[in-house]
Structure 1
């Protein structure tokens, strides 16, 4: 404890997105907290996007989910993909800021709690092996692994395989995104028994159109998952 106190005195905790000193490690300063668009209030029960209205009504859906039925049952997100939310996601995803997974797991846990089911297994959306080789880590697996530990749930990081390199989805319209991801995922043959007959919590860093989640959820359901719930750190919303 004394050594920890010495370290804290020499290297006081700093905000994870700026140099401002904070009370504890892996925290946000007040200014960055205000700039981080955490999702609160009424949300779509299927994708987690904010919807107009008040209260805690369940079963509400956004226009996208009403117009485009999803293969998963329920979904949630911790924040919107804008302002400091976008900055945090990009730093985790492309900036080698793997330590950001620690506070992100805390934010995800709050969003995930209503979706936790008995016997649920946590699964990340996988990267194609070529992209994983270049990036060296899968940010979705960092998030899902920490979340599984916090929730006391089993984690299966290689349950899904991305059998073709779909490339970046940035700049593609909705139709192109879904076309690129159709059939892109399959279950790992040695992990099928861990999925069959169980509910799955599927985790990724960002949800935009839902094409990635749809492709991965479809593969999990085909492998015998009884239910798929989806969770993203950030949600791209129309008003974002």
Structure 2
């Protein structure tokens, strides 16, 4: 009986909230019909990654070479992780979404981005034993107050009922921002940047780990974190990100 009376009041509360704070597009701020959605303009500007793509690096193919095909880049320079999946290509609209989350405290973007990531990485999630976020250095975390990779990973883990090892991996090197660095500089910047926390080994050893981050560019960060996880005994490491660059030069 309590539920019967409470439900109409909750509905009225939602209506009042929508009148006072109408839902807006998470990408540009224009009015939309549902909270946490995108307007048609922002939706069409995002370049979603759909098959066919490289089964290892998630690089889109211009034609369908068949399931399980690996790109020339993945063959010539195999990454230490097994597979990468990403939702969109990292263009201007995707960059604005990521920047809003990271630098403008737009935590309202997390449910939408995490849901898309869970869909894009469903084959990885089906095999994962534990989800681990790429960590921030403690000084950067203190300045930003939250780790966007951890927020995304926590949401995905909860939705799929998977263990979430938020602090298993630690960033021990205060690396400079990767923005603007050449490939070799990015690799040097994050070399030796990660290690397992004292309690992290128990969560990682023998497990199939899904490493979560917001953006994949050259793969330097994901590779460095993967090597730390494998040194700690991870059985395998896959990587799931919101966006990945189409190609990286330099």
Which TM-score tier does this pair reach, normalised by the shorter chain? over 0.9
2:111 to 102, 119, 123: 102
Aligned to 2:33: 23
Q: Mapping of 1:50-61 within 5 angstroms? A: 50-54=60-64, 57-61=66-70
SS, match of residue 116 in structure 1: helix
> Quick one: distance in 1 between partners of 2:206 and 2:101?
33
TM-score (norm 2): 0.90
Aligned to 1:86: 95
Q: Mapping of 1:112-131 within 5 angstroms? A: 112-118=121-127, 120-131=129-140
The structure that has the greater radius of gyration is 2
> Quick one: distance in 1 between partners of 2:196 and 2:33?
43
> Quick one: distance in 1 between partners of 2:61 and 2:228?
29
SS, match of residue 220 in structure 1: helix
Q: Which runs of 5+ in 2 are unaligned?
A: 1-10
In the alignment of these two chains, the number of paired residues is 239
**1:191-229 per-position Cα deviation (integer Å, ceiling 9, x unaligned):** 210111110110001000001000001111111111101
The answer to whether the aligner puts 1:39 opposite 2:49 as a matched pair is yes
The answer to whether the aligner puts 1:238 opposite 2:242 as a matched pair is no
Aligned to 2:4: none
Q: Mapping of 1:1-240 within 5 angstroms? A: 1-54=11-64, 57-118=66-127, 120-238=129-247
The Cα of 1:98 is off from its aligned counterpart by 1.5
TM-score (norm 1): 0.94
Q: Which runs of 5+ in 1 are unaligned?
A: none
The Cα of 1:141 is off from its aligned counterpart by 0.4
Contact 2:23 2:35 in 1 (8 A): yes
**Runs of 4+ residues deviating >3 angstroms:** none
The Cα of 1:67 is off from its aligned counterpart by 2.1
Measured on the aligned residues, the alpha-carbon RMSD in Å equals 1.7
The Cα of 1:171 is off from its aligned counterpart by 1.7
